[in-house]
């Protein structure tokens, strides 16, 4: 630790005890978790000068408690608004119809929701995108597939399904991560397998779509 870091730590330690006394143990711990990103009292770096050396994320909730994750911001404020005209006709969205309703509105004639589990509220199609032969080809004018592809191991099979069930002239709108922490909940329940670069995304989709029809933005 640098001399400056040692000095800051010496100053911070009495303040820590004072704050704990004022707030009480329970509220004090909640403040540490909420505002300092500490998980269950572990991993807090009181050496403020060295806080960027921490080996774990500042927050593990992806930013939900502080507003919303940064990738959701760009998806909802930039990407999908720019593609609003494409969300029309018969639309398929994965998980729920949130973005279909938000950005498609009256342009959508039929809204379908695909989910792996048939008892999911709001789901109209039960399917695994890697083996969804029961979904007719050329079915949808638009497919919205956000924050899903990284959880599918056979990603090429899923992309082939998207291409097959999309109508000629239809548009598939996909969002997936480049650099982000792993979602421990998803990893433990069904697996999280991939991160993509702009080049890997382009090459994957150009295997099944014409290169001129693939647009990748970062």
Return the pLDDT at 42.
40
How many beta carbons lie within 10 A of that of residue 149, not counting itself?
22
Closest CA to 113 of 100, 130, 131, 132: 100
With residues binned 3-state (H G I as helix, E B as strand, rest as coil), the percentages for the chain, rounded to 5, are: 45, 15, 40
Burial class (CB in 10 A: 0-12, 13-18, 19+), 125: middle
Considering the domain architecture, whether residues 32 and 117 belong to the same structural domain is answered as: no
Query: Do residues 166 and 140 touch, judged by C-beta distance below 8 A?
Result: yes
Return the pLDDT at 13.
53
Q: Residue 113 forms beta bridges with which residues?
A: 93
- The 8-class DSSP code of residue 148 comes to -
Q: What is the CATH number of the domain that holds 206?
A: 3.40.50.150
Residue 146 lies in a domain: yes
Return the pLDDT at 45.
43
Considering the domain architecture, whether residues 109 and 134 belong to the same structural domain is answered as: yes
Return the pLDDT at 31.
63
Residue 50 lies in a domain: yes
Q: Is the dihedral of CA 100, 102, 104, 109 positive or negative?
A: positive
Considering the domain architecture, whether residues 142 and 36 belong to the same structural domain is answered as: no
Q: Could you list the residue range(s) of the whole structural domain that residue 19 is in?
A: 3-58
Considering the domain architecture, whether residues 122 and 50 belong to the same structural domain is answered as: no
**Residues 6+ positions from 189 with CB-CB distance below 8 Å:** none
Return the pLDDT at 180.
78
Return the pLDDT at 41.
42
Return the pLDDT at 91.
98
Over 167-192, what HEC string results? EEEEEEEEECCCCCCCCHHHHHHCCC
Return the pLDDT at 40.
45
The pair of three-digit structure tokens given for residue 183, joined into one six-digit string: 């979602």
Return the pLDDT at 16.
65
Q: How far apart are alpha carbons 143 and 170 in whole angstroms?
A: 8
For every residue of 155-171, DSSP letters joined together read HHHHHHHHHHHEEEEEE
Report the chain (218 residues): mean pLDDT per 10 consecutive residues: 46 62 67 54 43 64 68 90 97 97 96 93 96 97 96 97 98 89 82 93 97 95
Residue 157 lies in a domain: yes
């Amino acid at each position: 630790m640098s001399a400056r870091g040692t000095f800051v730590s010496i100053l911070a330690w009495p303040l820590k005890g004072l704050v704990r006394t004022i707030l009480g143990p329970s509220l004090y711990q909640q403040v540490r978790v909420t505002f300092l990103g500490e998980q269950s009292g572990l991993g807090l770096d009181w050496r403020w000068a060295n806080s960027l050396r921490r080996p774990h994320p500042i927050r593990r909730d992806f930013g939900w408690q502080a507003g919303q994750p940064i990738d959701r911001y760009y998806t909802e404020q930039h990407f999908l608004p720019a593609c609003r005209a494409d969300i029309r006709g018969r639309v398929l969205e994965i998980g729920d119809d949130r973005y279909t309703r938000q950005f498609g509105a009256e342009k959508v004639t039929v809204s379908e929701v695909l989910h792996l589990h048939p008892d999911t509220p709001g789901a109209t199609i039960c399917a695994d995108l890697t083996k969804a032969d029961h979904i007719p080809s050329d079915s949808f004018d638009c497919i919205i597939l956000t924050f899903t592809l990284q959880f599918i191991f056979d990603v090429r099979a899923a992309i082939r399904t998207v291409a097959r069930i999309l109508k000629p002239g239809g548009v598939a709108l996909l969002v997936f991560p480049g650099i982000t922490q792993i979602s421990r909940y998803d990893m433990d329940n069904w697996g999280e397998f991939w991160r993509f670069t702009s080049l890997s995304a382009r090459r994957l989709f150009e295997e099944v779509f014409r290169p001129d029809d693939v647009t990748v933005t970062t």
